[in-house]
Chain A
């Protein structure tokens, strides 16, 4: 269960990241439109909701949720660093 939740976090958080206006405008050659941003954010939240439902169905809900919240923090940190790397590279190509 822990691995499944970790994978969900690793997909959901980057979706939320590229669905935010700043990253949608800065990370892509052609900035993502508002509709695409909403879809990406919706998918991210849907995945997070699915993860939450899965965690609630686990035999040890409290411990699973604590671990998952920690995994989401780590996923958010990694995503932020990945966004930084992409932004820096794009900046280096003359933007």
Chain B
């Protein structure tokens, strides 16, 4: 069992580390989005008026898009997030809650980058999702084999003995795994369930003969998908539809809004209820005729299998979570990243003297680049947001590119330098990058900036302490 635990962890460990770290940041996706759009930071927005403004702007500037996908403004994200087709490509922008225009807000993916990277890995469909699904399954396997392999589960529960080399790493690995084990199991299992259709696509193929539109219709009976007629249709006012949806959704409030075939006689407006504290997602869907404003379909999810899936998915994405629970998700996510990182480090320490071959050296150098360097690469995304001019064209893609350029550099440094040097240097770089984020945020005079500054400083202190410890050890002190 220990063999399976070690090797399965090693093969997927680096990928899992990046997936877990980006997923952990995704807990604060709206807040990161707000921090990265300082133009609207601290503002409040009414979801109905902001959506109305967004649709008025899209009607003029994206009239030919086959659909508009909107995430309505909320307390956590005071802007409408819109996705529409432009010149054969989809464009995603935050729209001003008053004017509905993206012009006054800098172009950035914000927290959406980490959220998408978490399960798509910046790869085209289905490869990123498939890799993430396999990684989630291996994480479940790693946790279960870890429980079996860890024989002194209760005896070692509260034990961490620092300064004892391999023993300390094993203690840290066990402690980080055991104290948050319910979270680790839940997040790994729900992650695997979320992407289960990629691992087991044969159900849809057998039952629906691979007709994905039939699958979608069955999954979401109230989402009307009808082709455009090609004849223009005068859109019905959106505000009465939004008010009606708000009334029907009750405390759940408004969630995503989709306008299919905008401006066409066959236009459809579909609204999904927000979380409103319920754990399960997508539990209430309402579709309106875009021209008459008449309700076409309404579906309140009550099917046991779908409700269970929505509950498990909701547990994973934590949209339901109030502030304290979100922080607990975040801390548990950091512990999971620590668990994976310490496991990878332990693998090389165990073999350093016993089997000091090329394989061990390769793993050791990759460990340095991934574990010590990934935080610096992710931090580069935040720093690029402040360093790239706000009105520069294509800045959103540049921000994303800065992550991968930094990642490539830290991996090269990790591969070329001796691990003893590189650990301290890259951890120091991560500490400096986190410190840079805290400084780049400016005076923390609002809740979002305070949160980002606090986390950045805490991480800078942690990485700084680890870096100085590593450098001191190298100098024999």
Contact = CB atoms under 8 A, between A and B. Distances in A.
A59 to B, nearest CB: 11
B279 interface: yes
B157 A17 contact: yes
Interface stretch (A28-36, A45-53, A71-79): A71-79
Contacts of A67: 322, 324-325, 328
B279 A63 contact: yes
Q: How large is the interface on A (under 10, 10 to 19, 20 to 34, 35 or more residues)?
A: 20 to 34
A95 B159 CA distance: 17
B154 interface: yes
Interface string A4-31: 0000000000000100111100000000
Contacts of B331: 70, 73-74
Nearest to A78: B179
Contacts of B182: 69, 73
A77 B158 CA distance: 8
A63 to B, nearest CB: 7
Interface residues of B, number: 28
Nearest to B318: A66
Nearest to A14: B158
B155 interface: yes
A63 B320 contact: yes
A11 to B, nearest CB: 15
B43 interface: no
A23 B158 contact: yes
B155 A21 contact: yes
A81 B179 CA distance: 11
B157 A70 contact: no
B158 A73 contact: no
B157 A63 contact: no
A20 B183 contact: no
Contacts of B322: 63, 67
B221 to A, nearest CB: 26
Contacts of B335: 73, 77
A74 B328 contact: yes
Contacts of A63: 277, 279, 320-322, 325
Contacts of B154: 20
B175 A77 contact: yes
A49 to B, nearest CB: 17
B57 interface: no
Contact of A60 (B159, B162, B178, B277): B277
B332 A73 contact: yes
B180 interface: yes
A73 B161 contact: no
B160 interface: yes
B325 A66 contact: yes
B329 interface: yes
A23 B320 CA distance: 38
A20 B157 contact: yes
A76 B157 contact: yes
A77 B154 CA distance: 14
B157 A81 contact: no
Interface in B131-162: 154-162
B158 A79 contact: yes
B438 to A, nearest CB: 23
Interface string B277-314: 10100000000000000000000000000000000000
A77 B279 contact: no
A71 B183 CA distance: 11
Contacts of A80: 157-160, 175, 179
Given A63-B277, A63-B320, A87 B161 contact: yes
Given A70-B329, A73-B331, A76-B178, 11 more contacts: A63-B320, A66-B325, A67-B324, A67-B325, A70-B328, A70-B331, A73-B328, A76-B157, A76-B179, A84-B162, A87-B161
Interface of A: 2, 17, 20-23, 60, 62-63, 66-67, 69-71, 73-74, 76-77, 79-81, 83-84, 87-88
Interface of B: 154-162, 175, 178-180, 182-183, 277, 279, 315, 320-322, 324-325, 328-329, 331-332, 335
